Amino acid sequence: MSNTKETGNYGEIQASNYLVKKGYTIIARNYYGKHGEIDIIAVTPDNTTLVFVEVKTRKSKLFGYAAESIDKKKIQSIIRTAENFMFENPSEHQIRFDVIEVYYKIINNDELILDEINHIKNAFYDISNYI
């Protein structure tokens, strides 16, 4: 992989595929609002919850878990962008914020292969700390 954008896109594709296999319906990828971007917006298999997903892609856990790179400013951006989405797309669904960590290996010098996916449901469980 030549750059972080390509690596991030790889992770988002892997995360989307993972969610679809688990029965989620993908509503949007790379949704942009005035406060930022949300990687994936999906509905749970039971159709009760709208899930805003931040995807973090890493080669290893050597320097910590990928989710640990999400700081307070990023969480605030995700929440505000989710609010913008909800304003544009009113829904009766419950809301949840998840993080999906995608870890990969490199083979043949530049080809990425999936190593592990870690789905952290309700990652920002008390959003009142960030509003």
Q: What does the pLDDT look like over 28-71, one tens digit per residue?
A: 999 998 889 999 999 999 999 999 999 998 887 777 788 888 88
Task: Compute how many other C-beta atoms are within 10 angstroms of the C-beta atom of residue 106.
Answer: 12
Q: How far apart are CA 12 and CA 41, in angstroms?
A: 11
Question: To the nearest whole number, what is the mean pLDDT of the chain?
Answer: 88
> What confidence score (pLDDT) does residue 125 get?
67
pTM listed for this prediction: 0.89
Task: Please give the C-alpha separations between residue 66 and each of 13, 45, 98, in angstroms, as whole numbers.
Answer: 16, 25, 13
* pLDDT of 130 strictly over 90: no
Q: Kindly list the structural domains of the chain, giving each domain's residue range(s) and its CATH number in brackets, ordered by start.
A: 4-125 (3.40.1350.10)
Q: In this structure, what token pair is assigned to residue 29?
A: 């990828």
Q: How far apart are CA 30 and CA 39, in angstroms?
A: 5
Mean pLDDT of the region 83-101: 94
The percentage of residues in the chain with a pLDDT greater than 70, rounded to a whole number, is 92
Q: How far apart are CA 122 and CA 126, in angstroms?
A: 9
* pLDDT of 128 strictly over 50: yes
* pLDDT of 131 strictly over 60: no
Q: How far apart are CA 44 and CA 78, in angstroms?
A: 19
pLDDT, one tens digit per residue, over 6-21 is 788 889 999 999 999 9
Name the residue with higher pLDDT: 19 or 111.
19
